[in-house]
Structure 1
Amino acid sequence: MNNPAIFIGCAGWQLGREHSPAFPVAGTHLQRYAAQLGGVEINSSFYRPHRWQTYERWAESVPQGFRFCVKVPKLITHERRLQGCARELEAFVWQCCGLNDRLGCLLVQLPPSLVFDREIAEAFFIDLRRLHDGHVVLEPRHESWRDAEPLLQEYRVARAAVDPSRIAGDAAPAGWPGLRYWRLHGSPRIYFSPYEVPALRILADELQTSSGTCEATWCIFDNTASGAALGNALTLSHFCRSEHARDGRQR
């Protein structure tokens, strides 16, 4: 398992045939996945709700240091567009509480058409912070959200580093610095292309540096359409373990 401050994984825990031998033979897909990787994004919550008991079952099936990031439903982000969704947000956060201390983060991904409106965004963050005091990461996809930095700092919301870049400045983490989060979708072909070894080595150095300056560092691979995400996550996790061990020997 990698440095406890760094959570590396994929958007989902499907184990493709190509990389299946790297995981234990016994157990559910999630149990096998969590034996090798330290974190995962639950993206299915974006499309449909899960029961509290489902989250509880998932939490009980992973090691103590494993963490889940749960994606906020599209009903809230894409259909209601952060407005008039207090009841739905409360239901979602309550469901996620089934993860207990395995809940590492909530992901708020916004549609490309959603323009930053300070009043709307602040009202949403107030509601969210009333319900959830833990880590939150935002992935905006409209240029206007570059103006949201002071608001993100105030409400302790990190802004994800994204590849391929969607808006200016999103190649590096921003927003609240207590959490740093990378979401890598595959480049040049989004959702398909793997990341090559030299890029992963550079990324491992970035994550190691980040982990010494913030509460938690995440890197999630979303290039799942071709199965590349799992291989990239395993390689990056190996590099981070090696870097951490080397740093430990030098101290």
Structure 2
Amino acid sequence: MISSTSLYYLGLPMWSNRQWIGGVFPQGANSKNFLRHYSSVFSAVEGNTTFYALPSVDVVTAWKEQAQAGFRFNFKFPRKITHENFLRYCGVELSEFLKRVEPLADNLGAFMIQLPDSFEPRQLDDLEKFIKQLPSSFQYSVEVRHLDFFNQGDEEIALNQLLQSYSVDRVCFDSRALFSKPAVTEQEKDAQRKKPRLPVHAIVTSTNPIIRFIGSSDFHHNQQYLLAWVDKMTQWAEQGITPTVFIHTPDNARAPEQAAIFHQLLSGLEGWQPLSRTLKDEAQLAIF
């Protein structure tokens, strides 16, 4: 695993995918041990599972037992809170969620408040009220999708100032590589139907920004967009900013290899450490 004291955290949108056997997971690995293997390679994971359902106490206990020291779960708040109640009248759900994952305190990265595209600038007061009731012992990040939050005008300024005032990070969702060319594979077509297409504003409102990179199936095509992030992260390293980067591919079957390529691109940075497992073959390495 990349050390938790390194320049950044690297992860994927999930930790359990049988297509990763032979790469992230050794041959013959039992699915019950996938998290243990995953967290020995990557230092973070998007906690999408909590968006859809609250994990049981036993499941949380199992996660705690398997997660490596320094590994970070970046859990999403439940959709009941963000997409159904729009951050209002959700005190019970919020308390229940935080209490359920509290045993993982040593492995918790920033919680992600992912808001739907229907959450508008006029609702910023609701966001502020929600942030105010969050325990200060945790870190938080916000992902917005309404286009007015990307207009570089009063609406975006108000959002950024709000996040800065509470030391909350802003999630940067980068799907440029996915949408910059016609979809070729069925997986790309499906991803283009489902993923949002948003402007990319690499804005830091606290000290641990989150980047969600959505690539195409063509690693060579993705390269120019990843290199832009290498430049940005080089600047951030000089400023003492520690980002978390999550790498997606259309069906995520090859997300580990794409993440490994990105990590290799950062090898010139002081403090860089290699991944603990080789996730791409020599032919793929030769391309880059």
- Contact (CA 8 Å) 1:59, 1:100: kept in 2 or not? no
Going from structure 1 to structure 2, the CA distance change for 1:185 and 1:85 (only over 3 Å counts) comes to same
Aligned residues: CA RMSD: 2.7
1:151-176 Cα shifts (integer Å, max 9, x gaps): 111111111111126687643133x2
Going from structure 1 to structure 2, the CA distance change for 1:119 and 1:202 (only over 3 Å counts) comes to closer
For 1:242 and 1:157, locate their aligned partners in 2 and report how far apart those are by CA, in whole Å: 29
Give the percent of matched residue pairs that are identical in Structure 1 and Structure 2. Answer: 24
Residues matched between the structures, number: 239
Where 1:162 maps in the other structure, the secondary structure is: strand
1:32 aligns to what? 37
1:72 counterpart letter in structure 2 = F
Equivalent position to 1:9, from 8, 11, 24:
11
- Following superposition, the deviation at residue 63 of structure 1 comes to 1.7
1:182 has 2:211 as partner: yes
- Following superposition, the deviation at residue 198 of structure 1 comes to 4.5
- Following superposition, the deviation at residue 93 of structure 1 comes to 1.2
Between Structure 1 and Structure 2, which shows a larger proportion of strand residues?
Answer: 1
2:117 aligns to what? 112
1:85-140 Cα shifts (integer Å, max 9, x gaps): 11111111111212121001100111101112232111111112xx2432211110
- Contact (CA 8 Å) 2:213, 2:245: kept in 1 or not? yes
Where 1:96 maps in the other structure, the secondary structure is: helix
1:213 has 2:215 as partner: no
1:233 aligns to what? 259
2:202 aligns to what? 172
For 2:129 and 2:118, locate their aligned partners in 1 and report how far apart those are by CA, in whole Å: 19
TM-score normalised by L of structure 2: 0.73
1:92 aligns to what? 97
1:209 counterpart letter in structure 2 = Q
2:145 aligns to what? 141
Is the deviation greater in 222-231 or in 78-87?
Answer: 222-231
Where 1:113 maps in the other structure, the secondary structure is: coil
- Contact (CA 8 Å) 2:61, 2:103: kept in 1 or not? yes
Going from structure 1 to structure 2, the CA distance change for 1:133 and 1:193 (only over 3 Å counts) comes to farther
Where 1:183 maps in the other structure, the secondary structure is: strand
1:163 has 2:168 as partner: no
- Contact (CA 8 Å) 1:56, 1:100: kept in 2 or not? no
For 1:56 and 1:123, locate their aligned partners in 2 and report how far apart those are by CA, in whole Å: 31
- Following superposition, the deviation at residue 41 of structure 1 comes to 0.9
For 1:49 and 1:234, locate their aligned partners in 2 and report how far apart those are by CA, in whole Å: 31
Larger Rg: 2
- Contact (CA 8 Å) 1:183, 1:221: kept in 2 or not? yes
Is the deviation greater in 65-74 or in 208-217?
Answer: 208-217
For 1:167 and 1:148, locate their aligned partners in 2 and report how far apart those are by CA, in whole Å: 19
Unpaired segments of 5 or more residues in structure 2? 150-155, 177-195, 274-288
Where 1:177 maps in the other structure, the secondary structure is: coil
- Contact (CA 8 Å) 1:180, 1:217: kept in 2 or not? yes
